[in-house]
Amino acid sequence: MLNKFLKLLACIIGVELIGSISGFFAGDIPTIYAQLNKPFLAPPGNIVGPIWIVLYALIGLALFLVLDSKEARNKTRAYLLFAIQLILNFIWSIIFFGGSHFWIASFISLLLLISIIFSVREFRNISMGAVICFVPYLIWIIYATYLSFGLAFLN
């Protein structure tokens, strides 16, 4: 039981750390975001960070549920897709905020959305709990992709 808890903790903390490191390399995200012309329905900057904390915890929980699942089929593909979406997630804010490459970041966001959809498809065969954990993430990335393209267009 302790081993399971430690694995769960490692998954959640690991994903949270990846998000934090990305934010560190992206620079002063709140200041940059505040200076941008924003599209319709853009959120206030102060809620985005807390949303990501929750989403990263859910992403880590999804990873744990896939790792812990007794289902052996397609796990390799699920791990690969999970890694791809996490890498795309990691580089997006660095490219968008750190490099001000808004259009490139927008297309990365689109690739991230596609990789999340494929991840959910793979998770469906392994753990429905992992699918449920990815649903808020999927919804947020649909919204974030809209915002990314909107910000690229307006700036």
Residue-wise pLDDT tens digits, 95-115: 999 999 999 999 999 999 999
CA 9 – CA 64 distance, rounded (Å)? 9
* Statement: the pTM of the whole predicted model exceeds 0.75: yes
Which tokens sit at 94? 């660095």
What's the topology of domain 2-154?
Ferritin (1.20.1260)
Residue 82 buriedness (CB in 10 A; 0-12 / 13-18 / 19+): buried
CA 41 to mean position of chain CA atoms: 20
Q: Tokens 């929980």, residue?
A: 61
CA 8 – CA 22 distance, rounded (Å)? 22
CA 108 – CA 114 distance, rounded (Å)? 10
Which tokens sit at 38? 């924003």
Q: What is the largest CA-CA distance in the chain?
A: 51
**pLDDT of 54:** 98
Domain boundaries, the chain: 2-154
CA dihedral 100, 102, 96, 147 (to 10 degrees): 140
CA 97 – CA 120 distance, rounded (Å)? 27
**pLDDT of 71:** 80
Residue-wise pLDDT tens digits, 40-70: 999 999 999 999 999 999 999 999 999 999 8
Which of 117, 128, 127 shows the shortest CA–CA distance to 73?
127
